[in-house]
Amino acid sequence: MKILEISDLEVQELVSREEARQQSTLSMLASENIQTKNSLLAQSSLFANKTLEGYPGKRFHAGGQLADQLELLCIDRAKALFGCQYANVQAHSGSQANHIVYNALLAPGDAVLALSLDAGGHLSHGAKVNQTSALYRFQHYGVDDGDLIDYAQIQELADRHQPKIILCGGSSYTREIDFSAIADIANSVGAYLFVDMAHFAGQVAAGRYSNPLEYADIATTTLYKSLAGPRGAIILAQSSDIGARIDRSLFPGYQGTPSINNIAAKAICLHEASTQEFKSYIDLSISLAKQLCFTLKNRGLELVTDGTDTSMVLVDLRQQMISGKQASDLLERCGIIVNHNVAPNDTRSVMEGSAVRLSTNVMARRRIKDDNAQIIFDIIADVFISLIQEKPFDFKAASETVAHICQRHPVASVLSIEHIEPELSVVA
């Protein structure tokens, strides 16, 4: 089935090939999901033709009354879903949203305390290769011997550097964060608490992860990861003063016209995330992640943090002779799409990494569970073991098995959030 019919044959061929690739392989990338049909349709609506600048009621272009209503609806849904007093829904990406927050709350050279990249942070949290580190004075906290956030170190660094912002959240930390503890530290030094919840916002929306906005001054999230929505981000806060500063930072500070059709898709995503069906999808994704942890540990493999509280799993290869890149390449030969990652205190380069990051979000959306899920997890374990032990592996048979399971659970059949059955949890 063609999702898109277009007259440009070159583009149509690539679209068709990409559809075939997604249907026959399984994405276990933590930064991917399956966007719902209604959200996709909203992105292709005639709101795509509308150009505006500014905010509802204060635009620089005429003809925006309906776009104003749409943006206000999206804002109301964001505030209701995450229990906050302020929302800006115009940000084009998560990294851009983070830059907008820094610009709103900091002066160049101000200190920021954030989780280090190897411990699970993100490039936009002051990595040396990111522009944020050139503008602000980032200090990074890490994890303890169990790969869990070192809260004592946060307090020590906060006392020493007196940061204006303490930032938590990231891209590869698999455990629930103690926002209350970090809020106490932030209060002790007069810092803002800023949470980047891009990877666990779906769990927060479903009530399966502590809501950071009960403690934080400000939070950002993308919508295309666990929320299964469109590209783009939202910025949330509890203070109208912070909200006013965010609004000025975004426009005219960082962006001109917002993507109104994308705001329509965001509004749909935020509504879908409030449903019982969405909660059931989140429950299934967490259950599958714990089942994956159990399988890998039972086969003798190690995990960063020894498990997960979310839908993300990080396989630990620090004590092995193989790199994350080698493992991810071989998993791709089986039709299982993952990414290699750095691990805490990694001695390998970021291009090789000592970890593999996996997510069960797409599995849950495609309703791959029970015996079929176990078959996938056994293949993943087999690939790691064969690579570690330098034993031959039948990639052709594995890829055929994965493709067969994927064909029984096609992407096209889950373009709706509906009819996802609840799943019992599996203890890892």
Q: Residues forming the annotated binding site for (6S)-5,6,7,8-tetrahydrofolate?
A: 117, 121-123
Which one, of 345, 91, 97, 120, lies nearest residue 219 by Cα? 97
Count CB neighbours of 402 within 10 A: 23
Say if residue 38 is exposed, middle or buried (CB neighbours under 10 Å; 0-12, 13-18, 19+).
Answer: middle
HEC readout, 203-256: HHHCCCCCCHHHCCCEEEEECCCCCCCCCCEEEEECCHHHHHHHHHHHHHHHCC
Question: What six digits make up the tokens of 145?
Answer: 């011997």
CB 361 within 8 A of CB 311: yes
Per 3-state DSSP, the chain is made up of helix, strand and coil in percentages (nearest 5) of 45, 15, 40
With H, G, I as helix, E, B as strand and everything else as coil, classify residue 187.
helix
Structure tokens at 56: 């509802």
* 111 neighbors 163 (Cβ within 8 angstroms): yes
For the annotated binding site, the residues are 117, 121-123
**Beta-strand pair 54-55/26-27:** unpaired
- Sign of the torsion angle spanned by Cα atoms 299, 300, 301, 303: positive
Query: For the purposes of burial, counting CB atoms within 10 Å of the CB of 255, is it exposed (0-12), middle (13-18) or buried (19 or more)?
Result: middle
- H or E element at residue 104: helix 94-105
Q: Which residues contact 1 (CB under 8 A, 6 or more apart)?
A: 412
| Cβ atoms of 39 and 269 closer than 8 Å | yes
